[in-house]
Amino acid sequence: HKGIMRLLQGYLDNNIPMSITLKIISELNDACVKQVIHICLDKMHAPPPSSFAWLAMGSQGRREQLLKTDQDNAIIYEDVEPKNEEATQAYFLKFATKVNKALQQIGYEYCPAEMMASNPDWCKNLSAWKLTVSEWISNPGKEQVLLSSIFFDYNSVYGDSKLVDQLSQHIFETTENYPRFFYHLAEGALQNPSPSGFFRDFLVEQDGAHKDFFDLKRRALMPLTDAARVLILSQKIKSISGTVERYEKMAELEENNRELYLSCSYATKALLKFRAKQGMLHHDSGRFIALNTLSKEEKIKLKRTFKTIKEIQTLIAVRFKVSNKVV
């Protein structure tokens, strides 16, 4: 993992385009995970009892994991005879525990919320996963929307992609029956705090450990990521999980909003680059930024993305009829 970080530093120093950097670092991250999976499968007492897929979720699923962030992963395995279900899940939980531990040892931290394949909630057969996502879509409370937001960015890193395709198909069939789900997803996307105040100043954290710091993730990246998710899923496209690619696809699909979507794609790349640079500089996740460490030029660049964020939030508020939010 240290080697990946050195490579990232070189790309940032040499101003390599962000789309190329994202692609290469993501492929290296995926290769690390695949290698770990192979090693852990070899250490198991027997081969897998059924076909399975290892899913990356969250930023790794979106292929936006540049810096070290928490693991977010899940397992989906083929349905087996009811009498074999308990033993099958036990096998995959044991296997996932090995994988999660090995990933942690090479620099991918455990998820504090335990959204990992070693947790039975995130390690299920296809039918159980279908039931779970149906529940999220048909009863979309705050927690269900949050879980959907993390899970629905999944990307298959290893294993049987047919299982993943069947689950994606099920998601679209279910959302067709519950179109209000998109309203709730859009509403969730508009819950992110605004990046700038009335006088176009940066809004910083008011209290806690990060008082007076700017939260780049929640105030700038998440509004763009969340808007891209609801837009692309409402178009029934699951094969594109990256925020940049989602906006590029939307620009193809909707000529009249093309300019805004391309601005969103550009803003996402600019913010991801900014976060990576900050993270490398301060040896952290790059999420919280001390504004007094930024140059005037950096502040202007950052503020330029805020206008785009406001515009895309207005678009989704209107499109999905979320009227109770003043954007």
d(CA 309, CA 193) in angstroms, rounded, equals 11
Report the CATH fold assignment for 2-178.
Beta Polymerase; domain 2 (3.30.460)
List pLDDT tens digits, range 125-162: 999 999 999 999 999 999 999 999 999 999 999 999 99
CA atoms within 13 A on the CB side of 130: 17
CB 229 within 8 A of CB 250: no
List pLDDT tens digits, range 241-278: 999 999 999 999 999 999 999 999 999 999 999 999 99
| Cross-strand pairs, 76 | 53, 124
Cα–chain center distance at 140: 19
pLDDT tens, the chain, 327 aa long: 778 999 999 999 999 999 999 999 999 999 999 999 999 999 999 999 999 999 999 999 999 999 877 899 999 999 999 999 999 999 999 999 999 999 999 989 999 999 999 999 999 999 999 999 999 999 999 999 999 999 999 999 999 999 999 999 999 999 999 999 999 999 999 988 777 765 467 887 777 788 888 999 999 999 999 999 999 999 999 889 999 999 999 999 999 999 999 999 999 999 999 999 999 988 888 999 988 888 999 899 999 999 999 999 999 999 999 975 544
Q: Where are the domains of the chain?
A: 2-178, 184-319
